[in-house]
Amino acid sequence: MKRSEINEIIRKSIILLDKNNMRLPLFAYWKTDKWKDNKEKIFTISKVMQGWDVTDFGSGKFDECGAVLFTIRNGDVNNKSIGTPYAEKLIILLHENEQKIPMHCHRMKTEDIINRGGGTLCVQLYASDPDGNIDKTANIEFFMDGIKFNCNAGKVIEIDKGNSITITPGLYHAFWAKKGGGDLLVGEVSSVNDDNTDNVFAQPTGRFAVIEEDEDIEYPLANEYNKL
């Protein structure tokens, strides 16, 4: 992805959130100079990777396979004194091309994926086999807002505004915004996690975007505070 594209995507994301009366923490609106002015104060933010995350998962097709994520709070999986004992993210998914977060599971993280507003959230589920790969035959037991459900492998669950699904370790899932329903604001509340180590993708996938620096950084991403 080009830096100019990432800068523009974040600007548009801020506008979309404002239209939906959603505000992020103060540092979400800091530009590079403000980050540099405060770099002695951001150890926790940097350590637990709070902040903006714009990724195409190495697809080169952001509008189809990608997302804007913002980590509002998180902790350190190796040091409970750093950050919070839970994590929270906001995820923006575009509906026109059913922008998708690709199929993956987590080694340790349990998360609630919540439709916070906009369109319809679609989630496809598969269990893991004993080797940790996708099991395309096993039925799945899962919870939505505390209610137990069962489904066949590969079932697509549609989640309306205000509702959520709980994803446990080893449960493969892909999710996207249903076309025609509007761009989607997704919440994620979870145990603390490390995006560098906890994600297991069904297909070879880059978690973070490879960036072509065609203009200056306007809003640093959560994995690049070392550039400040």
What pLDDT is recorded for position 205? Answer: 86
Torsion on CA atoms 48, 51, 57, 60, rounded to nearest 10: -150
pLDDT band at 128 (very low <50, low <70, confident <90, very high): very high
Within 8 A by CB and 6+ apart from 142, the residues are: 125, 148, 149, 150, 151, 165, 166, 167, 168, 171
Mean pLDDT of 160-167: 97
Range of weakest confidence among 30-44, 84-98, 199-213: 199-213
Dist. CA 54–CA 4, nearest whole Å: 12
Mean pLDDT of 86-107: 96
pLDDT at 191 over 90: yes
pLDDT band at 204 (very low <50, low <70, confident <90, very high): confident
Dist. CA 84–CA 206, nearest whole Å: 27
- Mean of pLDDT over the chain: 95
| Count helices and strands in the chain by DSSP H and E runs | 3, 14
**Exposed e or buried b for every residue in 75-91, given b needs 16+ CB within 10 A?**
bbbeeeeebbeebbbbb
pLDDT band at 160 (very low <50, low <70, confident <90, very high): very high
How many percent of the chain have pLDDT more than 90? 92
Largest separation between any pair of C-alpha atoms in the chain: 54
Show the tokens assigned to 159. Answer: 């989640």
DSSP states along 182-217? --EEEEEEES---TTTSEEESS---SS---B-SS--
Cβ-contact 53, 219 below 8 angstroms: no
What pLDDT is recorded for position 227? Answer: 85
pLDDT at 154 over 90: yes
* 70: exposed, middle or buried (Cβ count in 10 Å: 0-12, 13-18, 19+): buried
Please name the fold of domain 3-227: Jelly Rolls (2.60.120)
Cβ-contact 126, 134 below 8 angstroms: yes
- 111-126: pLDDT as tens digits: 999 999 989 999 999 9
What pLDDT is recorded for position 206? Answer: 82
What pLDDT is recorded for position 221? Answer: 96
Task: Tell me how long the chain is.
Answer: 228
Mean pLDDT of 93-119: 95
Global pTM reads 0.95
Mean pLDDT of 203-225: 92
